[in-house]
Structure 1
Amino acid sequence: MNIDEVTLNFTPTSLLLLDIVLAFIMFGIAMGVSYRDFAVVLRSPRAMAVAIAAQFLLLPALTFLLTLALQVQASIALGLILVACCPPGNISQVLTHQARGNVALSVSMTAVGNALAIVLLPLNFALWGGLHPTGSEILRSVQLDPVEMLLKILLIIAIPFALGLLIGNRWPKPVARVQPWVRGISLVALLAFIVIALAGNWQFFIAFIGVILLAVFLHEAIALSLGWGLARVSGLASPERRAMAFEVGIRNAGLGLGLTFAFFDGLGGMAIVAGWWGIWDIVAGLILATLWARHSRRRAARASGSDAGGGTAPSSAPAESS
């Protein structure tokens, strides 16, 4: 069985529902964004520059190299590249909060990242997909038009994001009460769609489970490590490093799945990679956030015990390193 020749079939109604869910997710994200969040570009230019470079320059490039190293089939390679080009996922702030990271910075990075992805996603995907030795053949066969993809992204990302931003800032108090429900419902709806998609095409998933699990596992590990590592090299503190790790590591794989159905007719490797990525990045993110939170609690307990013993930590004590 050649996964490059497999297509996952869904009815037009199902695909329309997926587009609505994706738009709803973006609407929910934007409802929690304040106009002031964009000012972080001026207040924290170093952090924002690192985040943008990691997400839109380094991650797609490293993903391209990963597909060459693993020698995966063309559709799997394109699926990994597409996910890498997608903007941050909608649970990055939840994971950052769980890990005791800088939530305000996370929100700002998500806002800026999604705004930039409107233009950079189709350009990045066309660039790296076009350079891939086997994936480029698929791109030529479907005659991918970056302008057409841009229009699709405008409908799924830009318009819902603009509406959510406008409504959230116009009526902040009532929106603050409903926004967690909007984000929660949209996330559950997306996960349900992904699970149904994988379950309905289980024979294809099982046939290629080994290479897909390995590729997605390594891809996620690279993305999380890239965010954290660049933040550390840049001299950012631990809360900022944790926020950066999730902003780079948690991608909007649901958007990648929607684009796969819209432009590639549900091509097997691309659809299964995007679907499994949407599940695994939540699992991996929760594991990492829990470990970081536990580490912070232990450090706080040790510091509290030291204070109770009659001493205080010296001012030169090193900052939390994870």
Structure 2
Amino acid sequence: MTSSIVTTVFLPASLAVIMFGLGLALTVGDFARVARHPKAAGVALVCQILVLPMICLGLVLLFDLEPALAVGMMLLAASPGGTTANIFSHLARGDVALNITLTAINSVLAVLTLPIVVNLAVSGFMDDGDSLGLQAGKFAQVVAIVLVPVAIGMYVRHRFTDFADRMYRPVKIASIVVLVGVIAVAIFQERANIGGYLQSVGLVALLLCVLSLSIGYAVPRLFRVNQEQSIASSFEIGIHNATLAITIALSPTLLNNSQMAIPAAVYGVVMFIPAGLLCWYFARYRTRSTLASSQTGSATSATTPSERNTR
């Protein structure tokens, strides 16, 4: 994946729009919501921060990926969720409020965890010492990429709530349009290499998504987290911010390695297959359950007066 004005200028700009749109939906209370649902949030965060990188490491070793691709996969696994996860959760009838809370907290934690995971991956898979680093300059850039647009969006929502409510949907639509456009142009520019990219990391990226979605749902259920929150956890853990991973990989002042961006670029395409199927299943299952419950409730309310009359 080669660097170009699309990937070095428009991609960071689209990421800023996406993160700003996320900020428009956040309030300080979203961070405090963890106190009301500590188990659901805690289990999801442990899966996101600890379990998922280990799963990704296992896949990287199992498929014996090239060093740069291995680092790119670990960068992807360490990237937090985003607005796409919130959209899927909404369509699947999950707890979107929990999604927003997890996205906010993961975005803050990623400023620390993402460089650590990438540095460990670089030291383990590469010999040239090229690292994201925790130096003040690069750390500030990660903060600027991840948190500054979110903070601006939150400030706008706090000061101009009505404006934020009106702009939230247009900004969300704009972020999706811009992101799709940037990815489409990037794919067009790399059309001759798409087959090779899919062959090199396509299966690994697909497996990471499937395992992430599965772990994100199954583990909370094992800890007796309710279904709506488990659905939210599934999509939050299973859908990573590929735009953030690509931006960090391609940034001339960060990793500056186009090969490390390949896993996130491939993942950004293939993840729609398992995520879409799971979303369809949950939406259909939840709809059936709701209908069954309403029918049972209607039948009960219909028979109760008769029983009372008989008595």
Q: What CA distance in whole angstroms lies between the structure 2 residues aligned with 1:226 and 1:129?
A: 26
Q: For 2:220, which of 231, 250, 263 is the aligned residue?
A: 231
Q: What CA distance in whole angstroms lies between the structure 1 residues aligned with 2:204 and 2:159?
A: 43
Correspondence list, 1:237-256, <5 A? 237-256=226-245
Q: For 1:146, which of 131, 134, 143 is the aligned residue?
A: 134
Contact 2:23 2:154 in 1 (8 A): yes
Is 2:256 the counterpart of 1:265?
A: yes
* Consecutive aligned runs of 4 or more in structure 1 exceeding 6 Å deviation: none
The structural deviation recorded for 1:210 is 2.4
Q: For 1:136, which of 110, 123, 126 is the aligned residue?
A: 126
AA aligned opposite 1:245 = S
Q: Tell me the equivalent position of 1:39.
A: 32
Q: What CA distance in whole angstroms lies between the structure 2 residues aligned with 1:101 and 1:48?
A: 14
Q: Tell me the equivalent position of 2:163.
A: 174
Q: Tell me the equivalent position of 2:180.
A: 191
Q: Tell me the equivalent position of 1:64.
A: 57
Q: Root-mean-square deviation (CA), in Å?
A: 1.9
Deviation per CA, 1:80-134: give whole Å up to 9, x if none: 1111111112221111111111111111111111111122211122123423xxx
Q: TM-score, normalised by structure 2?
A: 0.90
The structural deviation recorded for 1:310 is 4.5
Is 2:201 the counterpart of 1:217?
A: no
Q: Tell me the equivalent position of 1:120.
A: 113
Q: For 1:76, which of 47, 50, 69 is the aligned residue?
A: 69
Which of structures 1 and 2 has the bigger CA Rg?
Answer: 2
AA aligned opposite 2:4 = F
Q: Tell me the equivalent position of 1:285.
A: 275
Closer, same or farther: CA 73–14 of 1 in aligned 2, 3 Å: closer
Unaligned runs of 5+ in 1: 1-6, 313-322
Unaligned runs of 5+ in 2: 303-311
Contact 1:106 1:244 in 2 (8 A): yes
Closer, same or farther: CA 232–121 of 1 in aligned 2, 3 Å: same
Contact 2:47 2:237 in 1 (8 A): yes
Q: Tell me the equivalent position of 2:288.
A: 298
Q: What CA distance in whole angstroms lies between the structure 2 residues aligned with 1:266 and 1:295?
A: 43
Q: TM-score, normalised by structure 1?
A: 0.87
Q: What CA distance in whole angstroms lies between the structure 2 residues aligned with 1:118 and 1:56?
A: 12
The structural deviation recorded for 1:272 is 2.1
